Structure 1
Amino acid sequence: MGWRDRHLEIKSPEQLLPMRRAGLVVGRTLERLRAEVRPGITTAELDAVAEDHIRSSGATPSFLGYHGFPASICASVNDEVVHGIPGGRTLAAGDVISIDCGAIVEGWHGDAAFTMAVGEVPAEVERLIEVTEDAMWHGIAAARVGGRLTDISHAIESHVRAQGAYGILEDYTGHGIGTAMHLEPSLPNVGKPGRGPRLVQGLALAVEPMVTLGTKETDVLDDDWTVVTTDGSWAAHSENTFVLTDTGAWVLTALDGGEERLAALGVPFGPLAD
């Protein structure tokens, strides 16, 4: 099915307000988890922190039970790229961890992720994390009303390619989001600009580059969830949910709505609330 044949869910300004509330729950949960990450903590303990924070905020975890997923966050360590299942794994100094989190408020979803080092890591790993997060912001900054979906893809790929010989996952993508966590369209992290559906006000997208120090090729572990690099190279994952309004981009899962990073990239900021 081609992009032009797919139904896209366009939100009204009134519908975006509970999406922003869901996004804030996600953003605040991730902020809490950043503070909890340390050597000696298990990924299951991080999951418990996340579920408690989401529920105490009046929201529901998006991930728990999703196609049978058994936890409220994805916790992916080192060569695990995405979809890691929290459990008894204990974080050690020198690890990196990617945490992905989703929450539902009044039927509307927010979805975001970050990668961080556990203590000190080699400079190339720190750089990988930085490049991945920056690529996400460059992707969001490329979105304009009337533009095309792959303008975002091209901006992500161009930024990463300009920084070095990294692998960019192609089999896993960003996505539309709203009344479900995953909606059309799929949003590739590589591609030529000017393709795909037109970007319009109210189309919410989760932008999420996944970048590695080696290959773009991956395998799925026997748990049927955890995605790892085939060459064992370490990976980073960065994600935010955003929407275009009549005045600019509004990053629903960023606590400041994305204002600081968008301003640094010269992009209009378009909040409807806060």
Structure 2
Amino acid sequence: MLAIIGGTGLTRMQGLNVISSNKADTRWGEASGEILKGQLAGQEVLFLARHGHPHTIPPHKVNYRANIQALKDAGASAIIAVNAVGGIHPDCEPAGLMIPDQIVDYTYGREHTFFAEDLDEVVHIDFSWPYDEKLRQILIGNARSLDLAALEQGTYAATQGPRLETAGEIRRLANDGCDIVGMTGMPEAALARELDLPYACVALVVNMAAGLTDEIITMADIEKALHDGMGKVLDLLQASIKSYDEV
């Protein structure tokens, strides 16, 4: 069963016919909110709001371990994560989409692994390609079919937050080869890999990153991009849910 993790702007899944709603308590603590199980696009799916509903949990306080564990326990076989991001690559534009294929982790102080204590042996996962390629290709194929302008590869810079970055930090990220910047991509992706859950990201660009335009980044502009772009995200998710069930 496919699971959707909703980020900023997606705390409820439009069109989801909820069958059950369960508070998720794991050995790692409570998840960000209830795990919703329901029907979407004719398929059974799970949904979890990363920041809670309403949006109250900042990126550095999300219990990523509990979220991923709770989805696994609820029967998830793969995860599509939705992330609101800033655009660094010149081809990015507000309300545009990217399906990243790489990630660079700049976060710190987060509980980032299930394999930290009480181990029989040290565990090292292969994280060369952090996003599941089969799941990425489902998203890419459906974006093409829907005629959505989606960049089909790129590197996600995961920063600590909750503040936005400085112009100098964005220059550094660009020099490091990063194309988008967000605050929730890690350790979520790595934790999914640790539990053998295929994981891919739909990134919605909500602003151009600091220093790349003459404009000051405002929440009003971010909210407008969320409003303009979330319909594309929902269309892509619905089509991909159908495709996932077929493979």
TM-score by length of 1: 0.29
Larger relative contact order (CA 8 Å, sep ≥ 6): 2
